[in-house]
Amino acid sequence: MKTIVPDLLGMTLNEGKNALFQAGLSARLETEGETITGQMPPAGESVNKGTKVLLRME
């Protein structure tokens, strides 16, 4: 089953994790910080539910 990756840029880690959870996705942190500054796969991409989204934080 597919889902669309939400736009997480500018969110806090908790906000981003919540948005991912609602989309059936999970987070994997690349860097530590307070705000999400990058994500892979990008927002709007169709991925399988359960996919881990790599988050860059600053």
pLDDT classification of 5: cutoffs 50, 70, 90: very high
| Integer Cα distance of 13 and 46 in angstroms | 22
Please, are residues 57 and 29 in contact by the beta-carbon 8 Å criterion?
yes
Residue 1 is predicted with a pLDDT of 95
Q: What is the mean pLDDT of residues 4-20?
A: 98
pLDDT tens digits, 17-38: 999 999 999 999 999 999 999 9
Q: Where are the beta strands (DSSP E) in the chain?
A: 2-4, 26-29, 36-40, 46-48, 52-57
Tokens found for residue 20: 């991912």
pTM of the model: 0.94
Residue 44 is predicted with a pLDDT of 98
Please, are residues 44 and 1 in contact by the beta-carbon 8 Å criterion?
no
